[in-house]
Structure 1
Amino acid sequence: MLSPQVTAAAGLRSRPPATLTDPYEVLQFIRQAMEDANEAECGPALPLPVVVDVDAGGVPARLYAARVDAPVLVYLHGGGWCYGSIETVDRFCRRVADRSGCAVLSVGYRLAPEHPFPAALEDVEAVLAHVRKAGAAELGVDPTRLAIGGDSAGGQLATVAARRQRDAATPLDLQVLIYPAIDPMTASESFDEVGSYGLDRAAMKRAWETYVPDPMTRFTPDVAPLAAEDLTGLPPTLIITAEYDALRDEGADYADALITAGVPVVHTRYMGVNHGFARKLAVIDDARVATDQVAAYLRAALTF
């Protein structure tokens, strides 16, 4: 059963009026509406000893930390590669940093359609390189304990970056994927079963097409994680999926593929909630549970 908290949360964000028909104007409306609803959806900002905006290898980022020399999670926000920001995951990142003992570096990667593929992925890799090179001196973190994570489109970017880091012989220690976007074909049965609880097939197709305009490129490993021939050696992984999420089945399929490849995986499905629930700390109880699960997973694996 869909949680009534999900229904209540849906009313907190403005929807584009029917009179708005230009696709780019609709996108701009959605971007602003997400920012405007942030306080109501996510609640007040938890104070931390360190919350600072930084330049991470030429990419804007925000560092959250409760102590120096902590392991670091590089975090990538969701939003279909087209919207979302450091601000829209600010409360989530603060809570993870507070409860995990890890620093969190939230990345303001470039968005499509202004900056299509591979701009966002290039930004993620620039941030990872910066953390490895200057993390201790400039950020006060321990770059030898480095994880990556993200939700939705950010989850896709995270796991693609993790595979590329493996291939570059600079493997990451952990990945956290929250309802990740995995399949550009949007072929999973959950698209038909779930309906439109915040995300439907048409919206997801539009997101993939905006991020990667070239149809052939959409089925390469740097876009479609399951197109990679070899998933062995990817870092231990936490995958969170949601019962009423159109991306539910592709997230589960990716968990199964990682397990088959010998990757240690924890896959948790949250019942009664939909896509995007995990950042809505002020209105959905399971958002706080899921965020604390992420923090506990990081603490167990990376802190000592």
Structure 2
Amino acid sequence: MTLHPEIAKIVATLPAPPPGPIDPAVLRAGEEAMVPPPAERLPLHAVDDATAHTPAGDVPVRIYTPVEADAYGLLVYFHGGAFFLGSLDTHDHVARSLAKETGLKVISVGFRRAPEAAFPAGLDDCYGVVRWASENGDALGWDGRTLAIAGDSSGGTFVAAVAGMAHDEGFDRITHQVLFYPSLDLDFDVDRYASLRENAEGYGLETAGLAPFNAFYIDSGADPADPRVSPIKREDLSGLPPALVVTAEHDPLRDEGELYASRLREAGVDATVSRYAGANHGFVQNFSWIPDYYRAFEETAVFLGLR
């Protein structure tokens, strides 16, 4: 299928990247300027900013309560942005939609970003918040059952890495992992996956941009050979939580996400791949206003056994 016409219309208007080095401050400011005011956001029962006290330090979190209830399952969400972009605000609408469609209390993590914070600061923040959520279940109204983790793009990297870290430390409370078009192999050899060539240009995220956009993270000490950085390189995937891997047809990262799911199945883990036709990288964040793509939130609820 060709790129969805609404997506194609917007991709066609994207300017060429400016010459010279990438300036994180400029790109972050541009993202934040696009965030709608609170009054225009999806209403929920409650949205509260809080601080999670973790071994990695105090981590800002935003807690989304979809409806009033006696208890909730929990979903800890890690936003995308190539490890240096994205924030609680830029991905607020994603967290709200996850809360609404799943009925879970969503905890969005304001982890530290590169280049200001060296690896593994952001990853440690994410893992620390998952542990914090399980240890503070009474205060959060946790039902003691569902504790899912979810993330998009580089947030999906953190999902897979956190799942592995939890398994290695014997922390077995994570029940599900949900990865939206994840970045799972930070070795950007263009011959590694067919999708890196098939979707190299013209779909928003371009293969040539992967290395420079991830350079802030790599240069901070993230070694692409480390399974915490490139979770596809983890040798043993057995014992990890069941996974839903959502991929986009026109995404350079498509094949590594689908390979991760395949390797999980080979290791005896229940793993589902859902490839969205006509979609590009970032569609959950950027194009969920299109009904065909909002369905990713509904599919997440089904995967979690909540529909």
Superposition TM-score, scaled by structure 1 size? 0.89
* Amino acid corresponding to residue 73 of structure 2 in structure 1: P
Instruction: Report how far residue 135 of structure 1 moved.
Output: 2.9
The answer for the alignment partner of 1:140 in structure 2 is 141
For 1:54, give the aligned amino acid. Answer: A
Tell me: CA distance 1:215–1:174, structure 2 relative to 1, closer, same or farther (3 Å): same
| Percent of residue pairs bearing the same amino acid type | 37
Q: Does 1:271 align with 2:270?
A: no
Q: Secondary structure at the match of 1:88?
A: coil
Inter-CA distance 234–193: structure 2 relative to 1 (3 Å threshold): same
Match of 1:89 in 2: 91
Q: Does 1:33 align with 2:34?
A: no
Question: How far apart are 1:283 and its partner, in Å?
Answer: 4.1
Equivalent in the alignment of 2:45? 49
Amino acid at match of 1:181: S
Instruction: Identify which range, 46-55 or 30-39, moves more after superposition.
Output: 30-39
Tell which has more relative contact order, 1 or 2 (C-alpha 8 A, sep 6+). Answer: 1
Partner of 1:210: 216
Structure 2 equivalent of residue 63 of structure 1 = 63
**Partner of 1:222: helix, strand, or coil?**
coil
**What are structure 1's unaligned runs of at least 5 residues?**
none
Q: Shift in Å at residue 16 of structure 1?
A: 7.5
Q: Is the 8 A contact 1:99 1:295 kept in 2?
A: yes
Deviation of residue 115 (structure 1)?
1.1
Distance 1:285 1:131, change over 3 A: same
C-alpha distance in structure 2 between counterparts of 1:282 and 1:221, whole Å: 30
How far residue 12 of structure 1 moved from its aligned partner, in angstroms, is: 8.0
Name the structure 2 match of 1:221: 227
Residue 93 (structure 1) shift: 1.4
> More helix per residue: 1 or 2?
1
1:212 positional shift: 2.3
Q: For the residues of structure 2 that align with 1:282 and 1:164, how far apart are their CA atoms?
A: 31
> Does the 8 A contact of 1:147 with 1:173 survive in 2?
yes
Q: Is the 8 A contact 1:101 1:299 kept in 2?
A: no
Counterpart mapping for 1:126-137 below 5 A: 126-137=128-139
Q: Give 3-state SS (helix, strand or coil) of 2:247's partner.
A: strand
Q: 1:280 to 1:44 in 2, by over 3 A?
A: farther
What secondary structure is seen at the aligned counterpart in 1 of 2:224? helix
**Structure 2: which amino acid aligns with 1:81?**
F
Q: TM-score, normalised by structure 2?
A: 0.88
Once residues 233 and 168 of structure 1 are traced to their aligned partners in structure 2, the CA distance between those partners, rounded to angstroms, is 12
* Cα distance in 2 between the residues matched to 1:7 and 1:33: 21
How large is the RMSD of aligned CA atoms in angstroms?
Answer: 2.3
Question: Are the equivalent residues in 2 in contact too, given 1:145–1:173 (CA < 8 A)?
Answer: yes
Secondary structure in 2 matching 1:72: strand
Change (3 A) 1:128 1:249: same
**Residues 103 and 129 of structure 1: is their aligned pair in 2 closer, same or farther, counting only changes over 3 Å?**
same
Q: Which runs of 4+ in 1 moved over 4 A?
A: none
SS of the equivalent of 1:87 reads coil
Aligned to 1:257: 263
Aligned equivalents of 1:10, 1:156: Cα separation in 2? 25
SS of the counterpart of 2:209?
A: helix
How far apart are residue 97 of structure 1 and its match? 1.0
The CA deviation at 1:287 is 2.6
| 1:200 pairs with one of 187, 206, 213 | 206
Distance 2:276 2:17 in 1: 32
**Greater CA deviation, 89-98 or 266-275?**
89-98
